Structure 1
Amino acid sequence: MGKALKRSHIREAAFLLIFEKMFRDDSCDEIIDSAKDADEYDFNDEVCRIFKAVTEKAEELDSIISEYSEKRKVNRIGKVSLAVLRLAIYECLYEETVPTSVAISEAVVLTEKYAFDTDKQFVNGVLGSFSRSGKIPEKNIPEKSRGDEE
């Protein structure tokens, strides 16, 4: 599981695990094991770390989502959009090497791929409001690690 993956692939694989967890009461490890058994997509330790961290912080992340989602309560947000929002807000708050702008633009890309057009506008709106809130910690990202090449 030490395979080198691009950051966008890590993000998408983590999203898929987060999304799957919404439908199952299984532990994170059980979901990871069944994803390995199914061999549906590549993932590594970084994917598992992010998946577990987002799952552990789901309540905190949902609280932030509800603060910036003026149109829908968290329980009324589609599961794809909710999984994308949890992941993006987690990355904005806790992933030191991920610029906020990259977390948001990649969230929109995932939403475009897995959800409806109206969901894309909704996710972009929530993340835009959140990014303007001033609640995202300042990150010292070295120039060479900016962007999504890793």
Structure 2
Amino acid sequence: MSNVSKRILARRAAVQILYQSEITGVPADKLVDEGLVPEEAKANEYARELVCGVSAHRAELDRAIGESSQNWAIDRMPVVDRSVLRLAVYEMRYVDDVPQSVAINEAVELAKAFGGEDDSHRFVNGILGRLARLSESEQDVAAEAPTEEASEGVAEAAPAEIPTMGILSDFKPAEADSAENVE
């Protein structure tokens, strides 16, 4: 069995365990440790990593999901969708060798397979897409920010540009006009 197939099965098992945890109120990592999972959800090492990771970061994952969902409190979401979203957001943020696009695609497939609503996969895709765009824009901002070393010795930051709102967009200083006429 290929590594990809093992990961797909691991995600399926992890979602089942996370779902069972929500329904029973037993912590997911405890379900795994004590072997209290259905036979089809027997966890391989990657599934165990996912379940334990989601459990350890659940509050942060829920906060990110809640901020990205429009008009949906996380506790109002269907349990399966919530489990799929937590798993995907964990992979997007903490599993370096899984590209965001793969985490999203796998989550959409899980939502199609397990989701109780006809639109579960669209709902999951929408929230994860928003999170991915937000993550990309945060990375762009971080990449553009000056490093601490680069800013050492600089007494004062350059003044910010003042937005003109288009009022001065056609304004050219006199020197610019004469320089254009010379050429």
Map of 2:16 onto structure 1 = 16
Read off the aligned partner of 2:36 and give its amino acid letter. Answer: S
Inter-CA distance 119–71: structure 2 relative to 1 (3 Å threshold):
farther
Read off the aligned partner of 1:95 and give its amino acid letter. Answer: V
Matches within 5 A, 1:26-37: 26-32=26-32, 33-35=35-37
Map of 1:110 onto structure 2 = 110
Question: What is the TM-score when the length of structure 1 is the normalising length?
Answer: 0.80
Inter-CA distance 29–118: structure 2 relative to 1 (3 Å threshold):
closer
Q: How many angstroms apart in 1 are the aligned matches of 2:9 and 2:139?
A: 24
Map of 2:59 onto structure 1 = 59
Larger Rg: 2
Map of 1:134 onto structure 2 = 135
Q: How many angstroms apart in 1 are the aligned matches of 2:98 and 2:123?
A: 22
Inter-CA distance 133–29: structure 2 relative to 1 (3 Å threshold):
closer
SS at structure 1 position matched to 2:36: helix
Map of 2:120 onto structure 1 = 119
Map of 1:81 onto structure 2 = 81
Q: CA deviation at 1:7?
A: 1.1
RMSD (CA atoms)? 2.0
Q: How many angstroms apart in 2 are the aligned matches of 1:117 and 1:46?
A: 29
Q: CA deviation at 1:41?
A: 3.5
Q: CA deviation at 1:48?
A: 1.2
- Is the 1:12–1:110 Cα contact (8 Å) retained in structure 2? yes
User: Residues 104-150 of structure 1, C-alpha deviation per residue, up to 9 Å, x if partnerless?
Assistant: 00000000011122221111110111111135779xxxxxxxxxxxx
Q: How many angstroms apart in 2 are the aligned matches of 1:55 and 1:62?
A: 11
Inter-CA distance 132–29: structure 2 relative to 1 (3 Å threshold):
closer
- Structure 1 alignment gaps of length 5 or more: 139-150
Q: Percent identity?
A: 32
Inter-CA distance 131–14: structure 2 relative to 1 (3 Å threshold):
same
Total equivalences in the alignment: 133
- Is the 2:14–2:48 Cα contact (8 Å) retained in structure 1? yes
- Is the 1:81–1:123 Cα contact (8 Å) retained in structure 2? yes
Structure with the larger RCO, 1 or 2 (CA within 8 Å, 6+ apart): 1
Read off the aligned partner of 2:125 and give its amino acid letter. Answer: N
- Is the 1:13–1:41 Cα contact (8 Å) retained in structure 2? yes
Q: CA deviation at 1:25?
A: 2.9
- Structure 2 alignment gaps of length 5 or more: 141-183
- Is the 2:29–2:55 Cα contact (8 Å) retained in structure 1? no
Inter-CA distance 111–93: structure 2 relative to 1 (3 Å threshold):
same
